[in-house]
A = this chain, B = another copy of it.
Amino acid sequence: MDQRISAITLGVADVNRARAFYEKLGWTATSASDENAAFFQMNGCALCLFPTKELAKDAGVDRPGSGFDNVTISYNVGTQAQVKQVLAKAKKAGGTILRDAGPVFWGGFTAYFADPDGHAWEVAYNPFWKINAKGNIKLPK
């Protein structure tokens, strides 16, 4: 198996509401998107929005979970100031601030917001992880 992922799918209560939030961040859904599912082209993978109940069913799981996802998605930026800018943008788009921007023990500067369905996004300045011109992360080996 190659070290890659093809898509992340977030279970949502209302695809249109969730899609509107991500569009307010400045993202564009593909033309295949509709009220049943939405797709965003990311850097090498897709971000998908799909009704939570149907996602659970598709995965062969009895029912949706509750509370925190136990999964986070990170959006890294190049400066501490950009962390604050992205957090402000997410708040303005209707997101909820889970943890305000600040330094963390490992030397980074991060914040978290939740989308309208409670999915947690970290916004991070990580001085140890390089971001190339295409926006891809390159980890130290």
Residues on A close to B: CB < 8 A?
A: 1-11, 25-28, 30-32, 39-47, 52, 55-56, 58-61, 63-76, 86, 89, 98-99, 104, 110, 112, 117, 119-120, 122, 124, 128-129, 131, 134-141
Q: Is the CB of A70 within 8 A of B56?
A: yes
Q: Is the CB of B10 within 8 A of A98?
A: no
Stoichiometry (number of copies): 2
Asked if A43 meets B45 with Cβ closer than 8 Å, knowing A30-B141, A66-B66, the reply is yes
Pick the contact of A25: B1, B32, B45, B124 (CB < 8 A). B1
Q: Is the CB of B70 within 8 A of A10?
A: yes
**Residues of chain B with a CB closer than 8 A to A74's CB:** 5-9, 46
